[in-house]
Amino acid sequence: MKFAILVNEGPYNHQASDSAYQFAKAAIDKGHRVSRIFFYHDGVNNATRLTEPPQDDRHIVNRWTKLAEEQSVDLVVCVAAALRRGLVEENLAPGFRISGLGQLVEAGIQSDRLVTFGD
């Protein structure tokens, strides 16, 4: 099965990002394909390279980057939501790219399922 994922919440203020990451990993481990993960609303904060969690905490941004590198998952950040939150291309973590809502629509059309995490 081919999945697309929508993440609407930030990495440290809601469980949605952790759940989305765990879902993506589990789907891939079971032989499914995760074609694109789209970050929208506060979810765009998952893409900032400026995140520095304490050493004893998980580094969610690095998890996404590693997933993109190892599994060729397309990590797309909504341009309008990013700009509203001061996130610009220069501050993106590796593996992420900025684009428009058309990428979310395309992912929904081309996938068997679009799974949403967060409000």
In 20-109, DSSP assigns E strands to 33-39, 74-78, 96-99
| Distance of alpha carbon 44 from alpha carbon 82, whole angstroms | 6
What's the pLDDT score for residue 54? 85
Catalytic-residue membership of 75: no
Tens-level pLDDT at each residue, the chain (119 residues): 999 999 999 998 899 999 999 999 999 999 999 999 999 999 999 999 998 888 888 899 999 999 999 999 999 999 999 999 999 999 999 999 999 999 999 999 999 999 999 98
* Domain carrying residue 22: 2-117
| Tokens read off for 83 | 């700009």
| Token digits of residue 40 | 């929208």
* Domain count for the chain: 1
Cα–Cα distance measured from residue 34 to residue 41, given in angstroms and rounded to the nearest whole number: 21
Q: What is the CATH number of the domain that holds 106?
A: 3.40.1260.10
The predicted structure's pLDDT at residue 70: 96
Catalytic residue among 78, 81, 98, 107: 78
The alpha helices in 3-117, defined as continuous H runs, are: 16-29, 60-71, 79-84, 102-110
| The pair of three-digit structure tokens given for residue 16, joined into one six-digit string | 């949605």
CB 57: neighbour CB atoms within 10 A? 9
pTM of the entire predicted model:
0.96
